[in-house]
């Protein structure tokens, strides 16, 4: 058996090894969040599933052909079980999630008032929330090396919310972040990769590829409506991108932000928005040749964080030379791997499907910081 499914109690002691029993095992890993959903079926009768309790630890291992030892691939916890009786057939569906979900149960505050951080760099705040709120009451831990420094220091930020929401806010402020909880239950908060580390050939390593190009959200003409003073709004613009207008006609949007009072700030907001939305939005999905098969990818893509970019390399026929079987490779486009979906068939074949996205322009990543600074100015003026 190449894959092993273990069930452990809340103290991580082995309760059962389900290798010869599980059916339709599937799990996922996301760039934001780390270890994601897990699910499988057991051919057991109702009331024979008492060992499958909430918070039970689920681990998936793969037997390393070089060492013949089982290497950890995924770790999560049970959140739901569904005994199902259909005539004379009975089975139990089991569903769970990675340990990132424990963050949604943790409340970040200073008692009855908000938890406040003043002039502290984002990664320092992340470590403080981990040390004081998350690690003491969850099964999540972290290594200092996995919390990378950022370039943003908020003047003042307050939290009266769950830890998941707090981390999301900090990631958006820092920009270019990849964060979550990995297979070892370690939290990570790192700069997103900009290097292409996975190159796959269409027709060789890739079974199918869908490139979804969405033109509906293109914006190439902007106005910014700011604060109201004496009954009149500050109004800035138009800000335009002529090359986008030539390709897609004029597409206008108005940004409303009651904290904008200067043209400098309006320029920042409009520049970042145009940079992100002036072109077609590209999402894609790819199904890879199965793990262990000829041409298949035989390693964990999420073995290291952050995830490298993915490139689908398609073939283009060289003009006038098709009869010689010669090909040119098309231009390589790096895509974010947003999610990796694994599904293990009952015959032991592992399928891999990727949900892919496009990189945000660096200028667009700064929008959250500009909006934060505006909110700080608005609050100070109250």
Higher pLDDT, 196 or 289: 196
Whether residue 333 is contained in a domain is answered as yes
What whole-number distance in Å separates Cα of residue 189 and Cα of residue 163? 14
Is residue 382 pLDDT above 60, yes or no?
no
- The whole-number average pLDDT for the span 144-167 is 92
Tell whether 206 and 315 lie within a shared domain: yes
Q: What CATH code is carried by the domain that includes residue 82?
A: 2.40.10
Q: Count of H helices and E strands in the chain?
A: 6, 25
The confidence score (pLDDT) of residue 44 equals: 86
Total structural domains within the chain:
4
Tell whether 353 and 248 lie within a shared domain: no
Whether residue 378 is contained in a domain is answered as no
Which residue range(s) make up the domain with 40? 3-98
Q: How far is CA 147 from the centre of its chain?
A: 16
Band (pLDDT 50/70/90 cuts) for residue 361 is low
Tell whether 203 and 313 lie within a shared domain: yes
pTM across the whole model: 0.84
Whether residue 381 is contained in a domain is answered as no
User: For residue range 320-356, what is the model confidence (pLDDT) as tens digits?
Assistant: 444 444 444 455 778 899 999 999 888 878 889 999 9
Band (pLDDT 50/70/90 cuts) for residue 211 is confident
User: For residue range 218-229, what is the model confidence (pLDDT) as tens digits?
Assistant: 999 999 888 888
The confidence score (pLDDT) of residue 321 equals: 44
Is residue 166 pLDDT above 50, yes or no?
yes
CA nearest neighbour of 284 among 219, 214, 352, 342: 214
Q: Which of 248, 279, 310 is the last residue of a domain?
A: 279
Tell whether 304 and 256 lie within a shared domain: no
Exposure letters 257-292 (e unless 16+ CB within 10 A, then b):
bebbbeeebbebbbbbbbbbbbbbeebbbbebbbbe
Tell whether 11 and 91 lie within a shared domain: yes
User: How does DSSP assign 115-141, residue by residue?
Assistant: EEEES--HHHHHHHHIIIIITTTSS-E
What whole-number distance in Å separates Cα of residue 7 and Cα of residue 348? 19
User: For residue range 105-119, what is the model confidence (pLDDT) as tens digits?
Assistant: 999 999 989 999 998
User: For residue range 296-328, what is the model confidence (pLDDT) as tens digits?
Assistant: 566 788 998 999 999 888 765 444 444 444 444
Whether residue 255 is contained in a domain is answered as yes
Tell whether 207 and 291 lie within a shared domain: yes
Helix H or strand E encompassing 369: helix 367-381
């Amino acid at each position: 058996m190449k894959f092993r499914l273990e069930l452990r109690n809340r103290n991580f002691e082995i309760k059962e090894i389900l290798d010869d029993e599980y059916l339709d095992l599937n799990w996922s890993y996301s760039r934001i969040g780390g270890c994601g959903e897990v699910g499988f079926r057991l051919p057991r009768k109702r009331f024979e599933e008492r060992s499958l309790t909430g918070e039970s630890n689920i681990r998936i291992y793969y037997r390393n052909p070089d060492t013949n030892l089982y290497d950890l691939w995924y770790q999560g916890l049970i959140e739901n079980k569904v005994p199902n009786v259909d005539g004379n057939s009975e089975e139990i569906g089991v569903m769970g999630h990675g340990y990132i979900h424990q963050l949604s149960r943790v409340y970040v505050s200073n008692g009855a008032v908000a938890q406040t951080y003043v002039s502290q760099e984002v990664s320092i705040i992340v470590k403080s929330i981990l040390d004081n709120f998350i690690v003491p009451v969850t099964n999540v831990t972290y290594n200092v090396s996995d919390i990378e420094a950022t370039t943003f220091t908020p003047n003042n930020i307050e939290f009266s919310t769950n830890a998941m929401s707090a981390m999301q806010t900090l990631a958006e402020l820092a920009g270019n972040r990849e964060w979550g909880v990995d297979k070892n239950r370690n939290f990570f908060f790192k700069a997103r990769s900009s290097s292409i580390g996975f190159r796959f050939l269409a027709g060789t390593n890739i079974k199918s590829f869908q490139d979804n190009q969405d033109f509906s959200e293109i914006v190439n003409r902007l106005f910014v409506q700011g604060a109201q003073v004496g009954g009149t709004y500050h109004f800035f613009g138009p800000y335009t991108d002529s090359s986008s207008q030539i390709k897609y006609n004029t597409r206008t949007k108005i940004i409303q932000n009651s904290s904008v009072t200067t043209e400098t700030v309006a320029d920042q907001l409009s520049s970042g928005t145009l940079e992100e939305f002036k072109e077609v939005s590209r999402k894609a999905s790819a199904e890879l040749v199965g793990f262990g098969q000829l041409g298949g990818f035989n390693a964990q893509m999420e073995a290291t964080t952050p995830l490298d970019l993915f490139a689908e390399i398609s073939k283009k026929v060289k003009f006038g030379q098709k009869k010689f079987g010669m090909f040119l490779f098309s231009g390589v486009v790096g895509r974010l791997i947003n999610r990796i979906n694994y599904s293990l068939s009952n015959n032991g074949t592992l399928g891999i499907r990727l949900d892919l996205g496009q990189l945000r322009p660096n200028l667009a990543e700064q929008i959250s910081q500009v909006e934060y600074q505006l909110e700080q100015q608005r609050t100070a003026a109250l």
